[in-house]
Structure 1
């Protein structure tokens, strides 16, 4: 449960008893290969899915068969936390890479927060941050061009991984394929490839072998109109973001 604890403490501070309670959560660990559905539309899950290792993604299809990747999830994320109280899946959840997942019974998650206001606040805050990320994604998809969307996604995934200790020195894993990244920013693979070539030619980033390295942070931030306030890190994380931006 260490990745979950690290994620919760990226948004709120917990006391020692609350940390022990999180680490003691009952769970079942499952290994899944890449591109494997974990939950699909219409299912009624009885467990929360915690990503321990690897990347997962939330997605949906149009009636014409076009895929929209709605979110990427990394170690420490609980992509389906809202289904503690929303009984039916209204989207699908799948692994992106090979993943190690922990499945926590809903009953255990509900029991965890009884008498532990810090944990309850952390989980509630996590769902609110998820909603905040969705609002920012709506703005990005609705009002930014392909280049700005791509730059914004790169900034976000770097900052999110920094917050849980998975990235540093302006470099982080970015395993999605170009087709998957295109589906995440809502453009064709051709448009995404053009944006990627532009960012490379301007020496803003390099992307090779599933590793993103940002060469010009301030230039990428300006191009993306990126402000990490919507990620709502705790005060320590705000200070880290300010250091990156300096």
Structure 2
């Protein structure tokens, strides 16, 4: 967590999309949270569940997914540290998606009753969490456009651009636009809607064109402008503070 406490990570993430006063930051700092370690490839919450808590990703990557009747998985979102992937469970009683760890994860569980008390006492925090869910919806719309209208090369470039910006927003990008991407080719395929073999070929093409460099689980973006152009990437849909997406 790069020295961040669980609560500071939440404050940093919300602060990128909503101005928080000092009293609101302290209220978030005081929010009860139970920290737990989750192994890789484990459902944190499953479709049909009726959860009484939300989870915040503290370390690692999680995904939102659904299965077809034939058992084929579609990953509908990737979540990085600072995200609360099941925030909607505050208001939707039954989960209509599953949320799973992609890597070994540390997560913070926050009881719904504590979240509701916080929001009742600090109405602006209600607005901040609402904005968080609206940004999630905006990301979902952009993913839908990618899967429906962009070719595999552009889809992959666009996703890498997005992950770079989202990880930078929570301080998880190293100098030189380098970040950890501990996601298998199969998981990437489920996210962008192509085969794992096609993912491998697409990464080869991106490397050959000098748009990405890979070393084990690390990705480096040597030419940000060219990658943005290849992915048709406009960070507007992430609704982050000015300067984060530069």
What is the TM-score when the length of structure 2 is the normalising length?
0.94
Separation in 1, partners of 2:214, 2:113: 42
User: How far apart are residue 239 of structure 1 and its match?
Assistant: 2.0
User: How far apart are residue 60 of structure 1 and its match?
Assistant: 1.0
Q: 1:27 aligns with which of 33, 36, 55?
A: 33
Structure 1 range deviating more: 81-90 or 50-59: 50-59
Q: 1:146 aligns with which of 148, 152, 173?
A: 152
Matched, 1:193 2:200: yes
Separation in 1, partners of 2:57, 2:171: 15
Q: Which residue of 1 aligns with 2:139?
A: 133
Q: 1:48 aligns with which of 54, 63, 77?
A: 54
User: How far apart are residue 118 of structure 1 and its match?
Assistant: 2.6
Q: Once superposed, which parts of structure 1, at least 4 consecutive aligned residues long, lie more than 6 Å away?
A: none
Separation in 2, partners of 1:194, 1:34: 26
Q: 2:239 aligns with which of 217, 226, 232?
A: 232
Q: Which residue of 2 aligns with 1:18?
A: 24
User: How far apart are residue 114 of structure 1 and its match?
Assistant: 1.7
Q: Which residue of 1 aligns with 2:177?
A: 170
Q: 1:67 aligns with which of 63, 73, 95?
A: 73
Matched, 1:124 2:119: no
Structure 1 range deviating more: 1-10 or 123-132: 1-10
User: How far apart are residue 240 of structure 1 and its match?
Assistant: 3.2
Secondary structure in 2 aligned to 1:114?
A: helix
Separation in 2, partners of 1:86, 1:76: 21
- Count of residues paired in the alignment: 239
Matched, 1:217 2:224: yes
User: How far apart are residue 65 of structure 1 and its match?
Assistant: 1.4
Separation in 2, partners of 1:239, 1:99: 29
Separation in 1, partners of 2:214, 2:136: 26
Separation in 2, partners of 1:142, 1:102: 34
Secondary structure in 2 aligned to 1:42?
A: coil
Separation in 1, partners of 2:125, 2:14: 8
Q: 2:212 aligns with which of 184, 201, 205?
A: 205
Separation in 2, partners of 1:52, 1:240: 20
What is the TM-score when the length of structure 1 is the normalising length?
0.94
Secondary structure in 1 aligned to 2:210?
A: coil
Matched, 1:241 2:239: no
Structure 2: gaps spanning 5 or more residues = 1-6
Secondary structure in 1 aligned to 2:206?
A: helix
User: How far apart are residue 207 of structure 1 and its match?
Assistant: 2.1
